[in-house]
Structure 1
């Protein structure tokens, strides 16, 4: 059993691309070894990455493929032999199979007798297979953006390749890619270790050798080091803690090879600026961690993650440089904040006419008018259903929501759109409800982010997203395959998430009907249905068959679909429920194959078997109980009631032949099955549930 190490060294790769590429390289190498019969059962695969390298270490690689015996079928016996003598066809087949003519045999097939041979394909060495196949896998790695870097060469990669390592135990595997041939030499930290190559004697030495050269190749080790360093440095700032930020920790993990942390500070006077502005400048523009006091208020400090270790005198210089840059950014933010206040939001509404939303859909002023009208329609529905909201505050928010796009602060810090509008509305004495709705109306930005806090904010967010979807669909710009240039899936995901996690009494079809023209409504409703499927599986963790069963009945009311899915998931472990699901599948198949009209009343007089009479009587009683429970959305109890039918259903199928020879009896039994499947399919189509066996 051997160990195989592969590393590809690159110019610095963007942090956002590293994690997926590391996983893909590990998957491709593993698949290659499995496909070529070179990986041993129980083999361990470990991947590594830094901004300058991707690597994978496989412990459990066979040194050589096993010989492969392959059965080959040749020409028919009639063609292969003439008067007992092998013809050229037989000779050619023997040569192809790598055997003598005498070793050929005759086998019987459905088409008659044919020649056959057992060809022994000698196994190749692991080094030979890897050297041949791995370059194709490297070229196949997906990158959001590729580049050419060698004049006259066709290869593309995320960044220029600078070295490669390929070791099978202590032997170099001559993998060739992008003009480089792999060796046993890697490189440490660009600054701390210098430009000299580092020789690896064995794959197992990889991580430890790089650590001596100031490179933590293990991603989790680097992440742990950053978090510990943040904690340690923050303890030097009395009564403070660094503000938890998983995304920034992840980003800095992929931006560094040998991370360390220093603290810096800024003048207290900057704390008069909104916290959101200060944190955005630190986080999104400088990659600094914000520091807060014990009462969660922003403190005049920041933490910076370095990709080096500086001596005390060097650390002071670095700190001073970081503070100087941050001070300049804060001064810009303060200037823009004060400058923007000279033009009230109400006056900025007119300026939106000069800001294009989409060339065929017009300006943001036109979009704001559409969103305002949509807010009115949705708000009226909500009010009719006895939910309180501040109507005028919502309309103010709708008309002002996009005005911050004309502000200098948003032009400089685009991440703050919406947030700045809410802050300006608050500073200009608009209603807190209006300000909060504007502040939140881009939410949710992902499946992990929260929905708007208020009913008004939720309606405004729905209207804004629905208007974008309706407009793009009207132009034929809906998402196709993996392409979604206008982020319409994200917008639809946001609509689904708001309806799922709020108390708004709205359905997806109502949002589509209020926002879109008749020509595109069906397509938008179908698009929403896809997003409900995605939400149930990805955000709620529901099994695919449960989602399919629930959405077969309907997913227009998102919260209702969630409740039904959770009830089915809770009940599916029951043996009675599993049996009922299997029975429903059987009923559905019988009904689908029958040609008689099935949707007729059941004639009790024609039920002559005791088992069908018992099923008809018991199912009618259960149906009444289930209907009452379903009207109250007590789906868990409904499923228990439905599962209680198992004895009667089992007895029916054991004793009764549905497709009886008598037409009237057969039609009546089909009508009974149709009534049962209809009565009990309001929660889910139970025939879609996968049952063991």
Structure 2
């Protein structure tokens, strides 16, 4: 068995695209080798990346495919042989199978006697397969943006390909892509090592050779070194610590090949600006790490991750340059903050008429008015259900939520949209409730983000996002496939998360019914939000897919209720009685489906079983037990005691088992048949309001 190394060298890849591409290349190479029977499915596959390369190293790769035998069936025996002599048909089949005439055999099948042969298929070499297939896999990698770079050539990639390294042990795999032919050469750090090529004689030499050329190809090792360096530099600042920022660590990891950390500082006077502004300037614009004191307050220091290891003189020059740039950015922020205060947020509302939300929908002023109508209706609904909402603060927050789009600070630092509005509202004395609602309006931006901490902020977030989604759907701009240019899935995820994790007594249908939208849009939104609830239950809450399917089949309008039902179902999923009920409900569903297809039954009609047709003791027992159990289950369901309700439903097992053991449903007598169908349909619908047990997959 051999080791296989494949590296693609490029011009610098955008940091945000590297991790996904690294994982996809590794997956594609592994799938290719497994599909071609060149390695086991569990073979060790390691992947590496830097801004200038993607690489995969696979151990335990065969030199060639194993030969295989294939059983072939040809023409009928009577056509292939006449009077015991082979005909042209027999010769043709033997040639096709690659065997001698004497190797042909007679194969008896239900259709008659045919000619058979065992063909030996020679396996292809690994070099041959990789040479042919790797370029296809490379070209198929998904990039959010890619480019042409050779005039008149068809290939597209994220950046121009500069070199290919492909080794199967010591042998070069002659892969070619975009006019670049693979060799056994790679390249080290552009500055610290220069442009000289590095020869790799075997895959096992790869990491060591790159380390010697000032490149750490292992992403996790590079991340670890960055963290250690951040810790070490922070210790030179008394009582300080760098502010944890996993996303920024990830970014600088993908921006560097041989990282080091350099400290810097700024004047304390800038700390008069809000921390959010200072951190955004450092983090999003300069990729600097903020530093805080022991109390978590921002300190006048920062840390920079460099892609080189400069000497002391160069470090000092770089530090002064970083400080000068940061000082200029802080001065801009301070200037914009001061200028913006000349026009209070309340006086900026009219300015939103000149800010377009969407050319086919209208301005942000019009959107604000619609947001306000929906938000106030939702607040009234929440209030009627026992949740106190400060309606005055909510209305003010909704009206002013988008006004920071007209401020100079947001125009310069767009990442601070919403946050700036909240800071200005507090600074202008509009009240903490208003400030908090505006500040948190765009949270959660992702599944790991917190929801707004106040009811006013939650309702503002719901109204704003729902109005956006509904307006986009109304003009035909719903997401399709992987395309979602307006981030509507992300907005819907946020709505589901707020409904799930807040105390608001609101449902998805209450949003649709309160908003002024057509029935067609409502129907589309119902399906759209069902997908988002499924995503939340599976990816955020971690419920098994069959539990999610079972719960969603019983409805997902009330997100918190769906979560409670999923939790209860997960807790009793291992019960033998529930497993038997699940099997029985699958059988009921199949029987009813087949009966409907034959037009012997309709689930759309009222089909209550008639007692006079319950002749068999087993069906009488099931009917009586279901009638007795239904009120108790309904009472437990109404009080959301779902686990106890499921345990009660599981007690139906012996009666269901006896019914299917003793009773034939699809009998000739139409009246009896319809009555038995009505009985099992009543059992299914009566006990499926918590979950559709037929969706459970039980071993």
For normalisation by structure 2, the TM-score amounts to 0.95
Go from structure 1 to structure 2 and tell me whether the alpha carbon gap of 1:605 and 1:83 turns closer, same or farther (over 3 Å shift): closer
Following TM superposition, by how much is the alpha carbon of 1:130 offset from its aligned partner in structure 2, in angstroms?
A: 1.2
Q: Show the counterpart of 2:553.
A: 552
Following TM superposition, by how much is the alpha carbon of 1:102 offset from its aligned partner in structure 2, in angstroms?
A: 3.5
- Contact (CA 8 Å) 1:591, 1:670: kept in 2 or not? yes
Following TM superposition, by how much is the alpha carbon of 1:137 offset from its aligned partner in structure 2, in angstroms?
A: 1.1
Following TM superposition, by how much is the alpha carbon of 1:421 offset from its aligned partner in structure 2, in angstroms?
A: 0.7
Residues 481-520 of structure 1: matches in 2 within 5 Å? 481-518=481-518, 519-520=520-521
From 633, 642, 655, give the equivalent of 2:649.
642
Secondary structure of 1:73's partner?
strand
How far apart, CA to CA, are the structure 2 residues paired with 1:138 and 1:363?
44
Residues 278-677 of structure 1: matches in 2 within 5 Å? 278-518=278-518, 519-594=520-595, 595=600, 599-604=606-611, 607-659=614-666, 663-677=670-684
Go from structure 1 to structure 2 and tell me whether the alpha carbon gap of 1:597 and 1:441 turns closer, same or farther (over 3 Å shift): closer
Residues 88-237 of structure 1: matches in 2 within 5 Å? 88-237=88-237
Number of residues paired by the alignment?
A: 692
- Contact (CA 8 Å) 2:34, 2:41: kept in 1 or not? no
Following TM superposition, by how much is the alpha carbon of 1:79 offset from its aligned partner in structure 2, in angstroms?
A: 4.1
Following TM superposition, by how much is the alpha carbon of 1:172 offset from its aligned partner in structure 2, in angstroms?
A: 1.4
Q: Show the counterpart of 2:689.
A: 682
How far apart, CA to CA, are the structure 1 residues paired with 2:549 and 2:196?
58
- Contact (CA 8 Å) 1:280, 1:416: kept in 2 or not? yes
How far apart, CA to CA, are the structure 1 residues paired with 2:602 and 2:241?
72
Following TM superposition, by how much is the alpha carbon of 1:624 offset from its aligned partner in structure 2, in angstroms?
A: 2.0
Q: Which moved more, 1:368-377 or 1:508-517?
A: 508-517
How far apart, CA to CA, are the structure 2 residues paired with 1:78 and 1:407?
90
Matched, 1:253 2:253: yes
Following TM superposition, by how much is the alpha carbon of 1:520 offset from its aligned partner in structure 2, in angstroms?
A: 1.5
| 1:490-549 deviation digits (Å, cap 9, x = unpaired) | 111111111011111111111112224224121112211121111111111112221111
How far apart, CA to CA, are the structure 2 residues paired with 1:433 and 1:380?
17
How far apart, CA to CA, are the structure 2 residues paired with 1:479 and 1:597?
35
Following TM superposition, by how much is the alpha carbon of 1:649 offset from its aligned partner in structure 2, in angstroms?
A: 2.4
Go from structure 1 to structure 2 and tell me whether the alpha carbon gap of 1:81 and 1:667 turns closer, same or farther (over 3 Å shift): closer
How far apart, CA to CA, are the structure 2 residues paired with 1:190 and 1:450?
42
Following TM superposition, by how much is the alpha carbon of 1:602 offset from its aligned partner in structure 2, in angstroms?
A: 4.4
How far apart, CA to CA, are the structure 2 residues paired with 1:628 and 1:638?
8
Following TM superposition, by how much is the alpha carbon of 1:426 offset from its aligned partner in structure 2, in angstroms?
A: 0.9
How far apart, CA to CA, are the structure 1 residues paired with 2:152 and 2:594?
64
Structure 1, gaps ≥5 residues long: none
How far apart, CA to CA, are the structure 2 residues paired with 1:35 and 1:658?
47
- Contact (CA 8 Å) 1:470, 1:516: kept in 2 or not? no
How far apart, CA to CA, are the structure 2 residues paired with 1:659 and 1:87?
55
For normalisation by structure 1, the TM-score amounts to 0.96
How far apart, CA to CA, are the structure 2 residues paired with 1:416 and 1:596?
60
Go from structure 1 to structure 2 and tell me whether the alpha carbon gap of 1:577 and 1:338 turns closer, same or farther (over 3 Å shift): same
Following TM superposition, by how much is the alpha carbon of 1:74 offset from its aligned partner in structure 2, in angstroms?
A: 3.0
Q: Which moved more, 1:603-612 or 1:221-230?
A: 603-612
Please provide the CA RMSD for this pair.
1.8
Go from structure 1 to structure 2 and tell me whether the alpha carbon gap of 1:629 and 1:568 turns closer, same or farther (over 3 Å shift): same
Q: Which moved more, 1:86-95 or 1:492-501?
A: 86-95
How far apart, CA to CA, are the structure 2 residues paired with 1:11 and 1:626?
65
Q: Which moved more, 1:597-606 or 1:317-326?
A: 597-606
Go from structure 1 to structure 2 and tell me whether the alpha carbon gap of 1:446 and 1:167 turns closer, same or farther (over 3 Å shift): same
How far apart, CA to CA, are the structure 1 residues paired with 2:117 and 2:556?
58
How far apart, CA to CA, are the structure 2 residues paired with 1:105 and 1:593?
45
